[in-house]
Amino acid sequence: MAIEFPQIDPVALSIGPIDIRWYALSYLAGFLIGWYLLKKFLIVYPTKNTTAQHIDDLITWVVIGVILGGRLGYVLFYNTAYYMENPLEAFYVWSGGMAFHGGLIGVILAMLLFTLKNKIPFFELADRVAVVTPIGLFFGRMANFINGELVGRAWDGPWAMIFSKGDVARHPSQLYQASTEGIVLLTLMILLQNLKSVRERRGLLAGAFLTAYGTMRFFVEFTRAPDAHLGFITYGLSMGQILCIPMVLIGLTIIFTANQRHAKT
């Protein structure tokens, strides 16, 4: 009774010898839509010392942070032993292998440098960026589904899916993550941003994003198969779940600090 995976071609378009993949288009869509909405939010909710030109410039910094951080995170968190033996391949970004938590760290560092350079309050800008980040997460997870990668754990439920010939039926965990980390989280962040009491607390939206994403992913990963070369790390938890724990703790700390700072003003 399982659903057969539709076997979507990961190549969306070929122009001569150049293949344009859905995964690359998902990154592009996330950046472009996020950039557009960020500029719109800046008009409605102005950020100190921040102009539309700053947002245009920021996108370049964010793209670099995502790519370098995502790749480095994958190398360090998910496949250290392999890249210790093949160090040059760590630079082969085109061969695949990106980690969200690494990309997040890369973006945070890029934004820190950008805000210092332009004398922009970091948490004010981080709050705006946090609201649009789920858009990229949604498209990224949909690309994972199209590629038939990061599949779920074995399951025989009503919407279980067989991703490859001869494999067992599994959770379509990519769709779960696209729904929670993408749609649900985006809705939550927009609702929070609309509250004046939240916007007045610098950093609260950024903290809410870290906390909500980390919590959602931690629980959804119980339906996702662990990386084959890593398996479960400890206490039946995957690497993704372990990385979400400090993420949630940092998010809660930022929320607490934002409330404390606001109470003193």
Number of domains comprising the chain: 1
Token output for 30: 């996330």
Count the residues in the chain.
265
Assigned domain for 14 exists: no
Domain that holds residue 92: 19-263
Assigned domain for 257 exists: yes
Mean pLDDT, the chain, as a whole number?
92
Assigned domain for 48 exists: yes
For the chain, what percent of residues have pLDDT higher than 70?
98
* Residue 187 exposure: Cα atoms within 13 Å on the Cβ side: 5
Residue with tokens 């960020």: 38
Assigned domain for 5 exists: no
Its pTM stands at 0.91
DSSP-assigned letter for residue 18: E
**Res. 95: pLDDT tops 70:** no
Could you tell me which residue, 87 or 130, shows the higher pLDDT? 130
Assigned domain for 219 exists: yes
Assigned domain for 82 exists: yes
Assigned domain for 9 exists: no
Assigned domain for 152 exists: yes
> From the CB of residue 225, how many other CB atoms can be counted at a distance below 10 Å?
16
Q: Which amino acid is at 94?
A: W
